[in-house]
Structures are given as structure tokens and as C-alpha cells.
Structure 1
């Protein structure tokens, strides 16, 4: 009886292999995936007097500048910040796809993990199209990275291999995912916003599971020095996200003083609540696998993500 109980307990505690885990995700993809070209009503017009992001997650919410704005100006700022998020989403998907493709050159094409990587590539490509069409549908203009930023974007996939790829994917996806979950069920938002957020959150949940599983398996086998470097370098995500979320170009398009708007946003306690909520799930995971050291913690804290 005791032996049977121990065997049962051991079986319960045994985690699935990478192949078994990938098979599970492949089955989930087969059951629940979307084709934005047909699953979104692209002809539906923008609804007047509705926000594109919940006011509480707009960077200037609660500031003196926000109080001085008309509702129309507040909605316009939410539209520009929404467009900025989608534009950045396209950059992230681009980087991830390049890194995945490079990794597949050295992978077993018959394995389930390779097949899921290819499935994820398809998902991300459709997301890029969805984001681009959404920007057009809300009568927006995408925010483009500068020439220097494009050089960095094109160089990053060369460095994203194995554990680095999984952590980079999580830094690029989890913060957006947490923010999207605050958005998708808000009935006061534009219908197209809720629809694309629902699609993206559903499919991105599998991508995050895949990256987390890869990190859990790979990080313990890393050399101590490499693990310290990885635990330090992801902290650069804090300054990058602060720059992205308080981009002066966004404020200027909304008719505001870009420098003053950025200053107020970066000092805004409501905005700090949003960024901390966005980073919280990833911070907990990085702590769990031993990849949150004093260097990265300080960088995330200084930019108000912790």
C-alpha cells in the first residue's frame, strides 16, 4: 500500500518532458487558434467617444496635464499610446521570429518542440499582420524605430540562443501580456481593441508557457558565470520599457508638450502602479528560477517596475 502510494506520488511529481509539453501546446493550438483576416470585422468603424486604452493605464492618468485635457484629448492620447504598443509589438515579434528561425537551423525537424516553434512562428506572423491592420483600422500611423534602434533590433537575434532566447521572449511578451489582461474585458473600450487583445492573450499564453518551460529546463544547466550575466542583463528591460511607454513622439502626436508630458508620466504614481502590475508575474518567475540578482533588481526598481 505504501509502495503504491509512493509510486503515485512520484508519478504526480514527475513533470512532462520537453516533447510531451510541446505536444500538449500543439494540441492546444489545433483546438484554439485564430485567423485575424477572417476572425476580426475589419469593416466595423471606430466608435465615437470611446477610449482605446482604459484611462487608468494611460501614462498621464491622474497628472495635472491629464486634468487639464478635454475628454477628446484624453481619448486621442489613449489612441496614440495604443498605436505605440502595437508598433512595439511588431518589433518584438520580428526579433523573436528571427531568433526562432536561426535556432531551427540546428534543430531536429522531426521533434515536437521544433513543430511548436514553427507553430509559434505562424502565430507571431499573423499577429504582426493583425497589429498592422489594426493601426490602419483606427486611422493611425505606426511608430517606427530610428536607424540606430533598427541596427540593434537586427543584431539582437544573433545573441538570442537557448536560455537567452527564453528570457528575452518572456521580457518581450509577459509585460505586454499582463497589460493586455487589464484591457481585454473593459466594456468601455473600442470593440476592435477588445477583440485583438482577446486573440493575442489566448495565443500568447501558449508562447509564454513554452518559453517558461524552456527556461526552467535550461537555466539550471548554465555555467555560473553565464547565469550571473543573464540574471543581470535582463534588467536592461526596465530602462527600455520606460523609454517605450513614455516616448515623446506619442505625446507630440496627441498635441502635447512631449518633454513635459514625459516628465509628468515618469513621476506619475498611477503609471507606476500599471508598470509594476505588468512586471509582477515575470518578476515572480525570474525569482523562482534564480535569475533576479541585485543588478537587475536595481534596474527594474529605478524605472518603477518593482
Structure 2
């Protein structure tokens, strides 16, 4: 190994060591941080109204206050259900990437720490949906089956890139939810926990992507960029299930049409994705075909 390679490996170990130290000093236990027995105030939203898929549409204006509250509770649980689904995929990709790696390396140890964090997050989200008495919302059967290929085959920059996409978008949403005075405390507290712990995961993912992209050829770079963008397209589309509208007595066909034309939501998504797009561009993963997919879900 060259001197440059040794130095780079040392820097990566130092970076992972700092993340490990951070996880040891600033982590949360949802089972004690969240008051699971507290009653749910009837007048509080599941997420900031501005983050509802229908906010800013004529249909939103027609809804009663109770319908708006119920809708946002179903929407936040749909997002959490999708989060559980993708966190399970991410855990498998991370474990496969770290298979038979040196367990003494801080990179290996932080990767397992991230898996442990994701397990706790998934349980936290599951308990919140159970507390709100909202059913599990899953992506379509086609998406679920296609995702089996991603979790079984994706590695390197594709695995960490797909994970980063999901984490970055949810991070921006939850930073608003944790400050929402009209949002359920159970959602605000879980958002705070997720934001703090996912910030380390995102830093780790970015470093892993940069490491894996070193010396990557043009064909592989374009292929990876496209796969990551397709994953982003699928994840964003799956966040809020169409079934949430019927669950609160809204005509699904009309709701989907108004969501599709909702300029407010499009603007939110572009703003939420701006930092991610900048990073992907710097990493060489923002190619014209990839941009086309990001534009379809208003991330670019």
C-alpha cells in the first residue's frame, strides 16, 4: 500500500472513531425518552400541516380541522412505515458491506452501531403507529419485490447512496416536526432522537460514498448514479401511501390529482433535497439520467 493509501485509511479510521465516540456520548433510548403512556391531545397534528401532501391545495381548504389532524396522523405513520421498510433494507446492505471486515477497525464498529441504531428507530416508529392506532402502510407489491434485488445486490456507493437519500429527506422533515408546537409530543420527541442519531449515519454514508467513488470509471459511475436516483424516486413516491386519503374519508382519485399539482409540496421537496443534490454532484453521481429521475419527484 502506498503512503497516500495508508494515510487515507488512517483518516477514515479517525473519522469513524469520532463517530463512535459521539454515539457513546449522545444517544437516546426511546423506551425511556418517550412518554408512551401519555394521552394524545385530540387537537394536535401528526406532523406540521405544511408537510401534509394536501397542504396548499383546494382540497385542504375544504377539510375540517379534525380531518386535517387525522390525515396528518396517517401521513406521519405512512412515512414511518416506509422508514421501517427501508431501514431493514439498509441494515442488510450495511451488514453485507462489512462482512468479514476487521472487527478491530472503528469503521466496522460504527457500522454495527448504525445497525443497532436503526433497529431501535424501527421499533420506535412501530410503537408510535401502534399508539396512534394507524395501520401499517407499505409500498406496492411491485416495489417490495424489486427492493429485494437492491438489498441483495447493492453495495458500495449504491448501498450508501440509497441510504443517504432516505435519511437526508426525512432529516429535513423531522427538523421541522421536532419544532412544531401543534405536533404531537410523541412525534416531536421521536423526531429529535432520529435527527440527532441519523446525523452521524449521514456523515458516515457520505464518507463511505467518497471512499467507494475513488478511481471509479465512467461507466460504473453513471450506472451507480442512475441506480441511486431510481432508489430515490421509489422511496419518495412510497413515503405517503394513497391509502391514507381513503382512511380519512377523502376521495383518493381527487386527492392524488391535487397532490400531483401541489406546487407548495414540490417546493418543499426541492428545498429538502438541495444539500443532497450538491453532495451527489460533488461525488460525481449527479448525471443527466439521474437528474431526470430526481426531477420526477421534485428533488431537483
Which TM-score tier does this pair reach, normalised by the shorter chain?
over 0.9
How far 1:191 sits from its partner (Å)? 0.7
Q: Is residue 2:206 matched to residue 1:212?
A: yes
C-alpha distance after superposition, 1:106-142 (max 9, x if no partner): 3111111000001001100000100000111112111
Please list every run of at least 4 consecutive aligned residues from structure 1 whose deviation after the TM superposition is greater than 4 angstroms: none
Q: Is residue 2:138 matched to residue 1:141?
A: no
Between the aligned partners of 2:49 and 2:140, the Cα distance in structure 1 is 28
Q: 1:180 aligns with which of 160, 171, 174?
A: 174
Structure 2 unmatched ranges of 5 or more: 1-7
How far 1:245 sits from its partner (Å)? 4.1
C-alpha distance after superposition, 1:68-100 (max 9, x if no partner): 110100111101100101000101110011111
What residue is the counterpart of 1:4 in the other structure?
none
List aligned pairs for 1:24-173, cutoff 5 A.
24-173=18-167
Is 2:138–2:241's contact at 8 Å kept on the other side of the alignment? no
How far 1:241 sits from its partner (Å)? 4.1
Q: Which has the larger radius of gyration?
A: 1
How far 1:206 sits from its partner (Å)? 0.2
Between the aligned partners of 2:281 and 2:176, the Cα distance in structure 1 is 23
Between the aligned partners of 1:249 and 1:305, the Cα distance in structure 2 is 23
Task: Describe the SS at the equivalent of 1:50.
Answer: coil
Task: Describe the SS at the equivalent of 2:27.
Answer: coil
Task: Describe the SS at the equivalent of 1:220.
Answer: coil
Assess, with a 3 A threshold, how the Cα gap between structure 1 residues 93 and 248 changes in structure 2: closer, same or farther: same
How far 1:104 sits from its partner (Å)? 2.3
Structure 1 unmatched ranges of 5 or more: 1-13
Q: 1:286 aligns with which of 269, 280, 290?
A: 280
Q: Is residue 2:183 matched to residue 1:189?
A: yes
What residue is the counterpart of 2:289 in the other structure?
295
What residue is the counterpart of 1:255 in the other structure?
249
What residue is the counterpart of 2:269 in the other structure?
275
Task: Describe the SS at the equivalent of 1:143.
Answer: coil
Is 2:162–2:231's contact at 8 Å kept on the other side of the alignment? no
What residue is the counterpart of 2:220 in the other structure?
226
TM-score, normalising length: structure 1:
0.91
Between the aligned partners of 1:60 and 1:172, the Cα distance in structure 2 is 21
Between the aligned partners of 1:177 and 1:242, the Cα distance in structure 2 is 13
Between the aligned partners of 1:34 and 1:271, the Cα distance in structure 2 is 31
TM-score, normalising length: structure 2:
0.93
What residue is the counterpart of 1:8 in the other structure?
none
How far 1:103 sits from its partner (Å)? 2.0
Between the aligned partners of 1:48 and 1:83, the Cα distance in structure 2 is 16
